[in-house]
Structure 1
Amino acid sequence: MTYEKKIKYLVSIFTLVLTLSLISCYDSVSEDFEPPTGNVNNIQPNTLFTTTTSADDTMSFVFRSYSTDAESYLWDFGDGNTSTEENPNYTYEEGGLYTVTLTTISSDGLEASDSSDVAPIFLDFNFTIIDSEVTFENLSSGAENLVWDFGDGESVEWNVEDTEDDPDFSPIYTYKSAETFEATLTATTFLGVQVSVTKNIEGLVLSTVPDFSFVVSGFTAVFSDESILAESHNWDFGDGSTSTEQNPVHMFPGEGTYEVTLTTTNLAGVSRSITKTVPIGGIQATFAAKVLNSQCNDHTSVTGDNADAWDMTPNSTVVDDVLGTIDSPYRAIWNNTDLNAYIDATYCTNEQPGSTSDGNKFGPLAGGGRGVKLSNNCRRLYQVVAVEPGVEYTFTIDTRSEAEGINTEVFILNNEITTEVGIEANSDAYFNITNDFNATKSSSTNDTFTTTTFTFQASSNIAVIYVRALNAIDSSNEVFIDNINILTPGFDENGDPTGVDATFAAEVLNGECNDHTSVTGDNADAWDMTPNSTVVDDVLGTIDSPYRAIWNNTDLNAYIDATYCTNEQPGSTSDGNKFGPKAGGGRGVKLSNNCRRLYQVVAVEPGVEYTFTIDTRSEAEGINTEVFILNNEITTEVGIEANSDAYYNITNDFNTTKSSSTNDTFTTSSFTFIATSNIAVIYVRALNAIDSSNEVFIDNIDIITPGF
């Protein structure tokens, strides 16, 4: 027991000594400890977030932040709106493509941000029904692409580049039966996500569906009714004539393009109409058809792009020799994915022609000597070219098949087909090339290609060049193609207007209206569509009319009599243009009724560009004078524009003062025209010249020939 007490005593002494030692070491003047502030260890904050489209609303998004050490949040939704919530839900008002940015501030005051794209979309549509015609109202926003599936096997597609004014954005569709259909609108967002909405189309009442086809020969068209549920037919031929026959045959009054309308009516008395353009006769082109990369040499830095001009689905970009990579000029015009899919499923999966250095190296069109080739039965040449309905074009192509028995088929299509089934019915022309076999490559001294040309008359505003060689099956059985072009009448191969050198001067008779001074009324006879049989010559006296020997249009005279009044001859007047070197006796002719006309037939040469000139003075405001240069002797004024090589409307010649040797009160009008036939009929009228107070005075009428 004594031992234990001693141990406890020693421990107590040690504790006391240690305590006193610590007390003796204390510094009474030291400061309190403060921990360091700021980002001592240089740890950077991290900001991340996720986006999720709401399950119930494709315009709404759930945003979730996974940021580290964030004390404040600023969301920018890309549409001008923001939020400071940590995990906001947000609904866009308009569909589209937006960039969302989250910016966070850490506890240390450091900033971090993250961005991501979202593509809200609103998809819905309404529709109204009249019989079997359904008008769809598209309410959608935020779609880059739309496909309308009408539920009967038919569909249309819309792309954002088309704008909402395109009829395929809100289409009008006529069903051919009265069943219930499911119409589906499928949209693709700007991020490639597809969404769809489907609605039942119920309550259709089958109505008539008008349609027709036609065949033209000269001025006559044979129409074939192809309508559905039509009980009656009403045709408007666009020239003032009508018919109620089901399949009429109609002769048009002259060359031109006519808008023909067929209106059909069903048993319920509901009518529907369809209008088609019908070209009659030869139409003069107003622009040249332009085939892109026709010589297959445009792209020399990336030669494979030469074939892109002939691909039905061109690439989005090509390499230009000067500008580098550019948007494809071909893709801007056509991109036939439906036909491509048909070729893939029916033949093989590469429909683009090959690019080759074995083009036609002979002749002025050789260029770089490149071409395109068909080496499989799935390969095609395809290009869409703008043309004018009714114009007769010439197509030309150089081909060389390297094996016997390979034929090349050329179609000039009038629309962009989606299948080759029934391709002939969609063609304005077809040519089967069977004579171009040659195993030898072309050179600058050896032309081994065969040139094929044929004409076609365009029936729509596009011509699709479509070429295939179904027996070209491999690299030993290829067809090489070059120099593909569509030539336009009146234009050269470069698309420039052509000019033909004249071999004689066009001669206008009595153009200064002064030839007959003894019987001045005979001056007007030179401008009468039915001249008298004789005139009085100042030297020879009464002679056979030189005018009657050239023209005497009694049919047109009868039309004028029946339509306007019974005196179509212009008047002879002493109030011609007395100013200048052409004054002569100062006489002229005048139009003082709406039935009066100037008419004279002048021999010209097709292709020559002439200059027409005329002096006019209208004595009352609001009187216009129309000048036509006709290419044939018309029998009616219906469709007169289609029979004209030129038209000019004079509206600036009002002057109440008569001309004198010192005062020129006439207005000179001049214009050029290219003759399309061997006559030019000068035809002038002033339909507002109705009496002696509203007359038009005319003088110095001439056709000037280049080189004379």
Structure 2
Amino acid sequence: FTGSNSTDDTGVVSYFWDFGDGAVSASADPSHTFTTAGDFNVDLTVTDGAGLSDTTSVTISVSAPNQPPVAVISATPLSGEAPLDVNFTGSNSTDDTGVVSYAWDFGDGAVSTSADPSHTFTSAGDFNVDLTVTDGAGLSDTTSVTISVTEATTNQPPVAVINATPLSGEYPLEVTFTGSNSTDDTGVVSYFWDFGDGAYSMATNPVHIYKTTGEFVVELSVTDGNELSNSAFVTITVDKIANNMIVLLMENPSKLGMSKIQILDKPSDVVVRAIYLHDTNGRLVQVYNPQNVITDTGYELPVYRLENGIYFITLVMNQRDPLVLKLIVRN
């Protein structure tokens, strides 16, 4: 500060400085150090020999010293198989006056000056990636992140595993297939079933009904995400319905206007749906509702209204071909 340029007709005899931060001085031209930021009103009071005085002021503006930046780094993903593409973010770094430059060292010989670069690591290893940020005053900060890269593994084809229950039976045969036990190192993404009878499915565990007899080779093809595939096979045997059931026409020729049908060893799942009576010309003579003529051992058909002669009784059953019986009527 300079106060010696102050004037008086008889001469200035004293100087008094108030620097506004609690410090004072009696020098004509003092120096002072402001240690904190702010606006400081500095007063100079001069006095002559007669005790007369005058005061003037000046404002000193002190700013805070520049702070170094803070480097902030993020990376996605942090690990994986080579070649590994990693996205880095450095733009979240901060500084009081603003970051002016970014310097990336990816640890494999590659560098970048982008705020948010991407980099591909082509070999396996642990790579210490450094980010250095610098502000306009040349102050800097550095932070790091480690990227772990493993050797690339060779994708293996899936292994198709097929299960079927039952493997054989009488038609119509319902079979439950299971393909979910198939395996793959990266996961099975699709299933394709060929049931061998012209039907197909893309379900993992389908159910299929075989409506004809024969041996059917079922193929399951499974595919992974890299389009590698594998197949497994199983044979389904579908037989005709075993005809162990015995059907007897007990009153033949019929007596007393009644014809009795007895069924022996009838499976519980076999149901008589309808009973038809035709003459020798194929003409439909009578239709019987099985529920109306059923007995403990079979069926009793009233035929007392029929003319004497030969007729044919047809039993229509589920899961079996119609059964035809020859009836002689003698009323």
TM-score (norm 2): 0.31
1 or 2 for the larger relative contact order (CA 8 Å, sep ≥6)? 2
Q: Name the structure where strand makes up a greater proportion of residues.
A: 2
Q: Based on CA coordinates, which of the two structures has the bigger radius of gyration?
A: 2
What is the TM-score when the length of structure 1 is the normalising length? 0.16
